[in-house]
């Protein structure tokens, strides 16, 4: 929260309240457009606000630096040399006058739509990295009433790092809010799938994408990359150590990803356009150190006849056409670098024992590509309450040094983990029941995985009933190559310690007592009826 002081009182501003008010204005405004158009309009405005504030901060820092060096930042020659064509080393964009937030916020209401589109056009033409991020005429084609647009711009102007300094990752908070809230309130057809940060953090913590290349074949708004970058900064301190690649089919979401990554200074390669990963793989022939993904669950309509002999499944089998679960698996495996590539991705639980994909699953297991299967709690997602599974594939289960840890040989073993009971952390203020994994739980799950990998661990005895177990491939083969964790994780029979003789004796005593009381009550009733003149048999 931020506190605004005035002569009358100190007002507390809540970030979610500002964002909700923006949505409310858009709901009531004429010409605000469809669900997607409202969302894109808001996110584009917030992008302009943050890129503008970053520019202002960069210029202020430049002035401070010049003064420290004994130079006068108000001198015309200094202005010409340093400010007219400023160069920033931290990823800040040098914005032309018409694209600066100070220009936008001071534009009269009737001219705002034109000014906003002018700013977008200017940024797109002067900054190659942001080319393709914006739709031509985003604001002028919608042509909201000047007063409505002015209200929204004034609300967005309140969202500032200077005012909300205590907010961790403010940009991420705003993007998360809109992606999440619009997903909740959209129709089933319009809803965009949103991956909560705790799930992304779990995947990133387990596969440790600290350096090298990261790939997401269905990258959405770039959340996997951003959370990975945050983890890298917390562990290593330098996001330049990672280089991200992604692809996104939906054009609007592709643009959001480019804006989101650009704002954070993350080096990225999302291809020149939005397109289907299956029918037009934009990164064909490239292999990655890490893959993180949350593909659409049970995606239908992914297949066409041109994919029948595709090289991605040449060594396995043609994935079922009914849904894309195993097509995603084989696609990601085809991009996973040898000899040490690691992938962590989510799939619907049905993929664990899908009979239509048995041949592919069998070969994945026999080829020793599957390292861990982790079933997650229900209700982690806003848009669905189903339980899903985190799969970890590894090109190298032979052991060695990895990220400073000495790993043992885990060939012919798979770690199964069942976290479905971890539902105690409810999230308040949501329209649907929702739970989350907290930092301690994420750390515990990762530690179970890391200890299983450790060179001192004996995989043959690695288990905790009802939570995890290391299983040999021979046992999995006996279960017809099912990867359903409940087939392998031992569950405690809590009835085995019950003293049934004692329970029966106690039960018999209670029943006898009840019968005696009933007999006494019946006798009292007969005596009372006799006194009233009634004959009881």
CA atoms of 157 and 177, how far apart (whole Å)? 17
Domains 2-181 and 197-487 share a fold: no
CA–CA gap between residue 351 and residue 391 (Å, rounded): 10
Q: By the 8 A CB rule, do 488 and 471 touch?
A: yes
Higher-confidence position of 335 and 521: 335
What's 249's DSSP letter? Answer: S
* pLDDT (mean) for 297-311: 93
Three-state DSSP state, 389: strand
Res. 525: pLDDT tops 80: no
**pLDDT band at 501, cuts 50/70/90?**
low
Residue 385 has pLDDT above 90, yes or no: no
Is the per-residue pLDDT at 39 higher than 50?
A: yes
Q: Look at the block and give the residue holding tokens 């299956």.
A: 278
**Does 413 have pLDDT greater than 70?**
yes
Look at residue 502 and tell me whether its pLDDT is greater than 50.
Answer: yes
- The predicted structure's pLDDT at residue 138: 86
> What's the average model confidence in pLDDT over 245-274?
85
Q: 197-487: CATH homologous superfamily?
A: Vaccinia Virus protein VP39 (3.40.50.150)
* Least confident segment among 77-91, 158-172, 409-423, 486-500: 158-172
Which residue is listed with tokens 């503008």?
Answer: 52
Locate tokens 């991009």: which residue?
A: 335
pLDDT at 110 over 60: yes
Torsion, Cα of 42, 47, 50, 52 (10° steps) = -110
pLDDT of residue 89: 59
- How many other β-carbons are positioned within 10 Å of the β-carbon of residue 24? 12
Q: What does the pLDDT read at residue 38?
A: 78
Residue 313, C-beta contacts closer than 8 angstroms, at least 6 positions apart:
319, 327, 330, 360
Question: What pLDDT does 153 receive?
Answer: 95
The domain over range 2-181 is classified in CATH as 1.20.1260.30? yes
Note the pLDDT tens digit of each residue in 170-203: 655 676 676 666 554 443 333 345 678 889 889 9
- Alpha carbons within 13 A on the beta-carbon side of 217: 30
| More confident site: 85 or 313 | 313
- The candidate with the shortest Cα–Cα distance to 448, out of 459, 438, 433, is 459
Give the residue from 274, 279, 277 showing the smallest Cα distance to 304. 279
| pLDDT per position as a tens digit, 416-468 | 999 999 988 887 666 567 889 999 999 999 999 999 999 999 999 999 999 99
List the chain domain ranges: 2-181, 197-487
Average pLDDT over residues 356-361: 96
In the prediction, which pLDDT does 240 show? 74
Model pLDDT, residue 46:
85
Q: Cis bond leading into 339, ω under 30°?
A: yes
Range from 18-22, 224-228, 266-270, 394-398 carrying the lowest mean pLDDT: 224-228
Predicted pLDDT of residue 254: 87
Could you tell me the two tokens for 411?
A: 């060939």
Residue 317 has pLDDT above 90, yes or no: yes
The band of 8, judged by pLDDT with boundaries at 50, 70 and 90, is: very low
Q: Under the phi-then-psi rule, with left for phi > 0, alpha for psi from -120 to 50, and beta for the rest, what region is 404? A: left
Segments of 408-462 assigned E as strands: 413-418
What percent of the chain clears pLDDT 70, i.e. is strictly above it?
84
pLDDT at 512 over 80: no
Edge-to-edge strand list for the sheet holding 242-246: 268-269, 242-246, 212-216, 290-293, 342-348, 388-394, 370-375, 413-418, 468-472, 463-464
């Amino acid at each position: 929260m931020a506190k605004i002081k005035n002569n009358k009182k100190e007002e507390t501003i809540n970030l979610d309240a500002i964002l909700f008010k923006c949505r409310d204005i858009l709901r009531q405004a004429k010409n605000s457009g469809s669900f997607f158009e409202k969302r894109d309009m808001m996110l584009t405005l917030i992008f302009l606000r943050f890129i503008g504030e970053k520019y202002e901060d960069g210029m202020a820092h430049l002035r401070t630096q010049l003064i420290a060096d004994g130079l006068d930042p108000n001198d015309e020659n200094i202005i010409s040399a340093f400010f007219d064509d400023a160069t920033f080393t931290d990823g800040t964009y040098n914005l032309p006058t018409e694209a600066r937030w100070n220009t936008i916020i001071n534009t009269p209401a009737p001219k705002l739509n034109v000014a906003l589109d002018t700013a977008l056009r200017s940024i797109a033409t002067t900054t190659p990295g942001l080319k393709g991020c914006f739709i031509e005429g985003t604001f002028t084609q919608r042509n909201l009433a000047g007063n409505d647009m002015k209200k929204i711009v004034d609300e967005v102007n309140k969202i500032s790092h200077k005012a909300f300094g205590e907010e961790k990752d403010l940009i991420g908070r705003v993007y998360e809010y809109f992606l999440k809230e619009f997903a909740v309130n959209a129709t089933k057809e319009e809803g965009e799938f949103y991956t909560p940060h705790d799930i992304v953090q779990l995947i990133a913590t387990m596969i440790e994408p600290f350096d090298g290349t990261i790939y997401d074949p269905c990258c959405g708004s770039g959340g996997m990359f951003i959370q990975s970058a945050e983890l890298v900064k917390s562990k290593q301190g330098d996001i330049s150590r990672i280089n991200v690649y992604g692809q996104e089919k939906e054009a609007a979401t592709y643009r959001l990803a480019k804006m989101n990554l650009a704002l954070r200074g993350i080096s990225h390669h999302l291809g020149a356009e939005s397109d289907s990963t299956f029918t037009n793989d934009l990164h064909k022939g490239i292999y990655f150190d890490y893959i993180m993904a949350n593909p659409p669950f049970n995606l239908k309509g992914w297949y066409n006849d041109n994919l029948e002999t595709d090289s991605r499944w040449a060594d396995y089998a043609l994935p079922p056409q009914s849904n894309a679960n195993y097509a995603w698996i084989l696609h990601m495996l085809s991009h996973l670098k040898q000899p040490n590539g690691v992938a962590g991705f989510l799939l619907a639980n049905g993929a664990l024992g899908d009979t239509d994909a048995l041949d592919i699953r069998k070969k994945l297991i026999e080829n020793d590509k599957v390292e861990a299967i982790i079933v997650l709690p229900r209700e982690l997602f806003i848009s669905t309450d189903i339980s899903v599974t985190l799969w970890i594939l590894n090109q190298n289960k032979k052991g060695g040094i990895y990220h400073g840890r000495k790993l043992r040989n885990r060939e012919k073993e798979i770690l199964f983990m069942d976290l479905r009971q971890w539902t105690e952390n409810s999230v308040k203020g949501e329209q649907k029941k929702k739970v989350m994994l907290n930092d301690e739980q994420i750390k515990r799950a990762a530690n179970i995985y890391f200890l299983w990998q450790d060179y001192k661990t004996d995989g043959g005895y690695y288990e905790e009933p009802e939570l995890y177990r290391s299983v040999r491939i021979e046992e999995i083969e006996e279960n017809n190559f099912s990867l359903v964790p409940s087939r392998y994780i031992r569950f405690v029979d809590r009835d085995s310690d019950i003293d049934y003789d004692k329970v029966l004796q106690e039960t018999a005593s209670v029943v006898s007592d009840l019968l005696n009381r009933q007999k006494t009550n019946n006798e009292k009733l007969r005596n009372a009826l006799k006194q009233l003149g009634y004959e009881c048999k």
